Amino acid sequence: MDRQAYIENIQDHFDNPRHHGVMDNASISMKGGNPGCGDIVTVYLKLDAQERITDYSFDGEGCTISQAAASMLGEYVIGKTLKDVKNLDYNAFIDDIGREVVMNRPKCATLALNTVKAAERKFRSMQAEEHV
């Protein structure tokens, strides 16, 4: 895609977010934010018995890039396992959403991905506590 196509895709995800809303029956939820710019996102993951993400949603507020990236992330994580999520590459995600467009705002572009990775760590911690 060219720069304009990336911009239009980001704007479309911001105006018409996919996977947006609170998930009442989430297996795990995690709130994250960028205090410096006011972006906030809460991610919700529904897991199956093999720790595969069967559903994802997010809620939050912030700049166009942070909220569009949270929308786009759903396509990245649904169908993946938590182990896959742990190994997701930030650079590949930034490339897919439009590096040239978001390169000056990497924290905004990766807020949702960082939050999903934090949710994976929270899930592991909760599992460890159950086995104590």
How high is the pLDDT of residue 129?
Answer: 78
How high is the pLDDT of residue 33?
Answer: 95
Report the predicted TM-score, pTM, of the whole model to 2 decimal places: 0.93
Assess contact for 77 and 87: CB atoms under 8 A.
no
Helix (H, G, I), strand (E, B) or coil at 62: coil
Assess contact for 5 and 77: CB atoms under 8 A.
no
Domain spans of the chain, in order of start: 3-130
DSSP state letter for 32: E
Distance separating alpha carbons of residues 15 and 13, to the nearest angstrom: 6
How high is the pLDDT of residue 132?
Answer: 61
Distance separating alpha carbons of residues 41 and 113, to the nearest angstrom: 10
State the Cα torsion 82-131-42-18 to the nearest 10°. 40
Burial of 63 (0-12, 13-18, 19+ CB in 10 A): middle
Q: For residue 47, what are the β-bridge partners? A: 53
List the chain pLDDT tens, one digit each, 132 residues. 899 999 999 999 999 999 999 999 999 999 999 888 899 999 999 999 999 999 999 999 999 999 999 999 999 999 999 999 999 999 999 999 999 999 999 999 999 999 999 999 999 898 887 766
CATH 3.90.1010.10 fits 3-130, yes or no: yes
